[in-house]
Amino acid sequence: MANAEKVALITGANKGLGFEMARQLGQAGVRVLLAARDPQKGQAAAAKLRSEGLDVQFLKLDVTDKRDHAAASAFLEERFGRLDILINNAGMAAEAFGSGKVSTTTEDAIRRTFDTNFFAPVLLTQALLPLLKKSGAGRIVNMSSILASQTLHADPKSPIYDVKSFSYDASKTALNSFTIHLAHELKDTKIKVNSAHPGWVKTDMGGDAAPLEIPEGAKTGVQLALLGDDGPTGGFFHLGKPLPW
């Protein structure tokens, strides 16, 4: 399937990595639905990309609202009859990175973080899976983080060993588990499901100290969204290299 025929939906795409992935997929010829919960910001972001000559339109989608999931599914069914690419990008962190001790993490922080980073992508994917199955080569990309790696968190020699934010890390680890389980369920189909670590990127969440610019951080998600038929599924990657679970 040529990229020009593909339809992609990216959550949390009015800024940061989501916006840049929308740009890069648009530049590759993909028709992009830029999803965001704030209509004003989402419409402005989509208009910016259209001014660059890209096929991008705004879709109102609060990932924590199941009514929006249903509305998105109905819109896609009526307008395109399928979905080729789903990038579960919307995410949040309730604590500063490295400061989320288990003993002091509040129930509210855990629930809010899991609602956005885990339950939302699971439930949205479930709602859109029938449309992805109508694609000739569906791709699901879950935007995770190296901070989800249990292997690296348990290794005293790891660079992330002392960078622990309990609610965020645990939510992304759960998201990785979702990737593994869904990829297994879909192993006999043409749908590929993978987790992406974008790197430490200069976004609102990553901060100005991050070493990577946003265009570089967007590359992994875009690569996984455009995988060929011989590409991997059920993996965890950064710029084409596998990461330990």
User: What are residue 201's DSSP bridge partners?
Assistant: 212
- As given in the structure block, the two tokens for residue 226 are 């455009």
Alpha-carbon gap, residue 8 to 201, rounded angstroms: 23
Identity at 237, one-letter amino acid code: F
User: What are residue 60's DSSP bridge partners?
Assistant: 36
Q: Helix, strand or coil for residue 185?
A: helix
- Among residues 80, 105, 79, 75, the alpha carbon closest in space to that of 93 is found at 105
Active-site residue (options: 97, 119, 166, 168): 168
Q: What are phi and psi of 237, to 5 degrees?
A: -135, 155
Alpha-carbon gap, residue 222 to 226, rounded angstroms: 6
- As given in the structure block, the two tokens for residue 242 are 């596998």
Residue 161 falls in the annotated catalytic set: no
3-state percent breakdown (helix, strand, coil) of the chain, nearest 5: 45, 15, 40
- Among residues 136, 167, 103, the alpha carbon closest in space to that of 5 is found at 136
C-alpha of 202 from chain center: 17
**Strands 56-60 and 85-88, bridge-based pairing:** unpaired
DSSP category for residue 101: -
Please list the active-site residues. 168
